[in-house]
Amino acid sequence: MEKLSVSIITLNEEKNIRRCLESVAGIADEIVVVDSFSKDQTEAICREFGVRFSNHKFDGHIEQKNRAMELCQYDHILSLDADEALSDKLKQSILHEKEKGFPAKVYRMNRLTNYCGSWIRHSGWYPDRKIRLIHRDYGYWGGANPHDQLIPKPGVKIAQLQGDLFHYSYYTTEDHFKQVEYFTTIGADSYFKQGKKASLTKLYLAPLGKFVRDFIFNRGFLDGKAGWQVCTISAKATFLKYKKLRDLHRQIAHE
């Protein structure tokens, strides 16, 4: 049977990390956690599970996740966020592939998000297909911070795993707004470095298009109140990202 490493990055995740670690029990041959100097009980909880724990200054989601993968000693790596956990069906699906020696080099799974206690099955959030299980020689973390993604080598066959990856995103709408503020700042900075700009038309029409797509065409209305909150805050995030991008260009113009 092939060995499986699990890699996780953390920062003050005492609320989530135990659930994540418990969900990989029985399939992980090692768990590697790269922490960004948490101030809570994250490390203590991780030590309970015998993980290989290390600290490194946070220099980006992509950089930190690649660093965690590099520290893994086995070739097959399941990369998770601390606020994620395997469903029983997904765990069994991974175990089945493990017993076969992981015949595919890259595996994708559906991610189901819990938002303030409600499971979001529409709103453009499900099925949120993610590549998370990969042979180290066949992919790497890339994308643009904070929207990191595991990128497989061109031409590599991607197998779909059965079951859901549970994502416990936000416990309150205040948590969501805080994350929006954080992510839109990073996103705007990333766009600015790429030389992208945002016209007034894009500033106002992109958020509207985002809301119409997610709430109407992606049937966010079927998620009830939670769907309305998800879609409206996501539209606001689009507006803020482009507004911050315009502000960065204005700052440079006035220097």
Tell me the percentage of the chain whose pLDDT exceeds 70: 100
Distances (CA, A) of 135 to 117, 151, 246: 34, 12, 40
pLDDT of residue 253: 82
Domains and CATH numbers, the chain: 4-170 (3.90.550.10), 173-254 (no CATH)
Mean pLDDT throughout 79-98? 98
Q: What is the 3-state secondary structure (H, E, C) of 151-201?
A: EECCCCCEEEEEEEEEEEEECCHHHHHHHHHHHHHHHHHHHHHCCCCCCHH
Per residue in 57-71, pLDDT tens?
999 999 999 999 999
pLDDT of residue 254: 79
d(CA 105, CA 76): 8
d(CA 54, CA 77): 17
pLDDT of residue 255: 72
Per residue in 113-135, pLDDT tens?
999 999 999 999 999 999 999 99
Phi, psi at 114, each rounded to 5°: -100, 120
Per residue in 220-243, pLDDT tens?
999 999 999 999 999 999 999 999
For the chain, give the mean pLDDT.
96
Per residue in 142-155, pLDDT tens?
998 778 999 999 99
Distances (CA, A) of 25 to 73, 171, 172: 18, 25, 29
Bridge partners of residue 197, in order along the sequence: none
pLDDT band at 77 (very low <50, low <70, confident <90, very high): very high
**Which residue type, as a one-letter code, is found at position 151?**
I
pLDDT of residue 124: 95
pLDDT band at 1 (very low <50, low <70, confident <90, very high): confident
Residue 111 has pLDDT above 90, yes or no: yes
Q: What is the 3-state secondary structure (H, E, C) of 15-43?
A: CCHHHHHHHCCCCCCEEEEEECCCCCCHH
Mean pLDDT throughout 2-25? 98
pLDDT of residue 147: 83
**Cα Dmax for the chain:** 62
Where does residue 49 rank: exposed (0-12), middle (13-18), buried (19+ CB within 10 A)?
middle
Do the bridges between strand 84-86 and strand 52-55 make them parallel or antiparallel, or are there none, so unpaired?
unpaired
Mean pLDDT throughout 184-193? 94
Mean pLDDT throughout 161-183? 96
